[in-house]
Amino acid sequence: MDECSATKSTSLETLVIQNISNVKELKSKLSEIIKKGKDYEFDVSSCVKTLIKSNDQEIVLLTVEAISELVKCDEKRRTYSQKEIISPILDILQKEITTENAALIKQCFRALGNLCCDCDSSRKIILECGGVPNIINLMKKYFSAHSQLSMYAFKTLLNFAIGGQEFTNAMVDGGVVEMLQMVVIQELEKEEIDEEAVCALLSLLSLINENDTEILYSDEINAGVLKVLTNTADIDVSELCLDILHAQAEHDSVKTLIAKHGGIQVVCSRIEQLMQKFDHGELDADQSDVEAILKQACDLIVIVLTGDEAMHILYNKGLGEVYISMVKWLEHTNYHLITTGVLAIGNFARQDDYCAQMMDDKIYDKLLDLFDVYVSFGVQMQKEHSVLHPIEPGTITKIQHAILSALRNLTVPVANKRIIAAQGRAAPTLLGALLSVEDHHVAYKLLAAIRMLVDGQESVARLLGRHKSALRCVARWGHAGEYAGAAGEAPRLLAWAVKLLTRGPYWHNIVEVDGCISSLVNMLVASHSLMQNEAILALTLLAIETLKNISPSSEHPEFDYEKSFISQLIKSEIGKHVSILVDTNCAKMPIEVAENLLAFLDITSKKNKLALDYKEAKVTESLKKFAESRQDLSEDLKNCITGVIAAISDNGKD
């Protein structure tokens, strides 16, 4: 049928309906439209606008039901998305629900729900007409008495909410959260909850939170969702509960609530039951569905443990049910559970006294064993270059990253550092892994774990110092500027090692291995004064050792350390880096950093080539500006600046 014929046919059909004077025939016609539904080919929206205002309630009922069926079609939905149609439907919903009009109310909800499906124009008309509070108030008033009608109202609100934040905000303003709180409380008071109603209200809560990530539900709602999770065996309902709790757990108060109400114990127990049923083929669900809910549950455990109060509750002096489960999961065969166990241990290890207890419980050894296993997996996969491997590369990376974070946290207490260094196993393992690591996230955590182990432990620093291959890897990551984490951690490891290595012969390798000195020079312009100071101290210590030698070392006569050190500094543009450091931190440079920098310049500016590099980079001008801009410098420090400027001027000659 061409467009002209279609228009004529529609006009004719409209005329036919408008001229039906017999009520019985009109009802028959409306029933015919309802039966054909979305397949009804004519646009009779102009008729509908009139019929929906009829004094005959059966005609109104049939008209609204006809709208419900017609707008199942996308094209017709746009046609019937008109204020003259939607507003009268909303007016009906302002009436008291009675036995006589219950069927009409049901059809009104159906019509609005179908009109809102993927149709913002309908949603905006409902907003314009103030329809959202009408629906919500009706549910508040009649939910318990008319639960079946409320299901249609829920579905209407869901289709409305799917439109996005503009619409969910209107629902929140209209009191939907309070209404949902009322419903969840009523449902939990029943002997058996209505899974369909609960699923609908959970879907609404999830959508609202998705569109407003900052929203915080009441304790009653969050505790109610947790109770639903505890009681339900339905996969879909469980998934919705986990989704809401995960989003709400961004708030520390909710983390604490979940921990206090035993929520994580419930989640752990449910995970283990789920795994057991799935492994025995007793679960009527696809593997992908099981994987999805397993990941959600594990993610919830981890996010709750990031809360300080929640973490203390769940640790419970090392006797907490959750802590014990997490230790047990370190030896599980499922990668989700292993990763969760490791991440949980890393969170428990934020507390120093817990770290000491976990060290006594051999948790560090368990993690190191686990790390060994996954390093072996990673190396094997690199050799095979195979995509058909039982463990995905991303999974290995995630587990390695988690293990290294936990190892680093457990190494923070000084007593633990001593124990680990004395055992003599961790440092060779981690340094060996450094030779094969390719992922920059893992490299970052690995470098941080080694640095924490080096801290104050000369034996570990010596091991690194004599391991030239490891030093080359550190230098390589130090120059991987596109990976900020690893690139920032590598020079810090070198700087911490230098503090201990200058007591013995192994500082030589820092100078010999290409890239180590330039990594330290680059750290001079780091954004944090702590890192700047670490770089200055390390370079100063190396300068003291290398520049005091008049001739090549008797231990290494073939290598001129002074010449190499000076050459590497100049190649790394030491003068330019010092100028940038002073110029960009003129007003905020801590006095301690300034003192250390001047000590470094005082030592190095005595060497003609370095003084010339400083002079060309205008270091003297930067120092003058620094001295002039600071009112907090002591006379000794001012004199030191004057002396350095003079040394650069005197020695920096071609």
The reported pLDDT for the residue numbered 394 is 85
More confident call, 140 vs 510: 510
Q: What are phi and psi of 618, to 5 degrees?
A: 60, 40
> What share of the chain has pLDDT > 70, as a percent?
94
Q: Which amino acid is located at 299 in the chain?
A: D
The reported pLDDT for the residue numbered 387 is 38
* Pairwise CA distance, residues 228 & 210, whole Å: 20
Write down the H helix ranges in 71-146: 74-80, 83-92, 102-116, 120-128, 131-142
Fold annotation for 8-129: Leucine-rich Repeat Variant (1.25.10)
> What share of the chain has pLDDT > 90, as a percent?
76
Mean of all residue pLDDT scores within the chain: 91
Average pLDDT of span 578-584: 96
The reported pLDDT for the residue numbered 59 is 95
Is residue 281 very low, low, confident or very high in pLDDT (cuts 50, 70, 90)?
A: confident
pLDDT digits (tens, 9 = 90+) for 108-117: 999 999 999 9
Indicate if the pLDDT at residue 383 is higher than 70. Answer: no
* Pairwise CA distance, residues 376 & 73, whole Å: 57
pLDDT digits (tens, 9 = 90+) for 416-441: 999 999 999 999 999 999 999 999 99
Torsion of CA 558, 561, 566, 571, to 10 degrees: 60
Is residue 525 very low, low, confident or very high in pLDDT (cuts 50, 70, 90)?
A: very high
Check: CB of residue 111 under 8 Å from CB of residue 71.
yes
The reported pLDDT for the residue numbered 21 is 80
Average pLDDT of span 636-646: 93
Average pLDDT of span 527-539: 96
Quick one: tokens of 372? Answer: 């060994």
Task: Name the 3-class secondary structure at 36.
Answer: helix
Task: Name the 3-class secondary structure at 30.
Answer: helix
Indicate if the pLDDT at residue 502 is higher than 90. Answer: no
Q: Give the Å distances, CA to CA, from 344 to 5, 102, 369, 400, 415.
A: 70, 53, 17, 14, 22
* Pairwise CA distance, residues 151 & 332, whole Å: 42
Indicate if the pLDDT at residue 380 is higher than 60. Answer: no
**CB within 8 A of 259, min separation 6: which ones?**
304, 307, 309, 310, 313, 314
The reported pLDDT for the residue numbered 17 is 83
pLDDT digits (tens, 9 = 90+) for 241-264: 999 999 999 999 999 999 999 999
Indicate if the pLDDT at residue 205 is higher than 60. Answer: yes
Average pLDDT of span 620-646: 93
The reported pLDDT for the residue numbered 290 is 83
Residue 607 region by backbone torsions, left for phi larger than 0, else alpha for psi between -120 and 50, else beta: beta
Average pLDDT of span 345-373: 95
Nearest to 181 by CA among 222, 138, 216: 222
Average pLDDT of span 164-193: 93
Is residue 556 very low, low, confident or very high in pLDDT (cuts 50, 70, 90)?
A: low
Average pLDDT of span 283-301: 86
More confident call, 391 vs 330: 330
The reported pLDDT for the residue numbered 557 is 63
Is residue 310 very low, low, confident or very high in pLDDT (cuts 50, 70, 90)?
A: very high
Indicate if the pLDDT at residue 551 is higher than 60. Answer: no
Average pLDDT of span 457-484: 95
pLDDT digits (tens, 9 = 90+) for 314-327: 999 999 999 999 99
The reported pLDDT for the residue numbered 379 is 57
Average pLDDT of span 270-277: 88
Indicate if the pLDDT at residue 377 is higher than 70. Answer: no
Average pLDDT of span 327-341: 93
pTM: 0.86
The reported pLDDT for the residue numbered 511 is 96
CB-based contacts of 520-523 (< 8 A; 24+ apart in sequence): 520/491, 520/494, 520/495, 521/569, 521/572, 521/573, 521/574, 521/577, 522/478, 522/479, 522/491, 522/572, 522/577, 523/488, 523/491, 523/492, 523/495
* Pairwise CA distance, residues 545 & 527, whole Å: 28
Is residue 456 very low, low, confident or very high in pLDDT (cuts 50, 70, 90)?
A: confident
Q: Taking the domains of the chain in order of start, what are their residue ranges?
A: 8-129
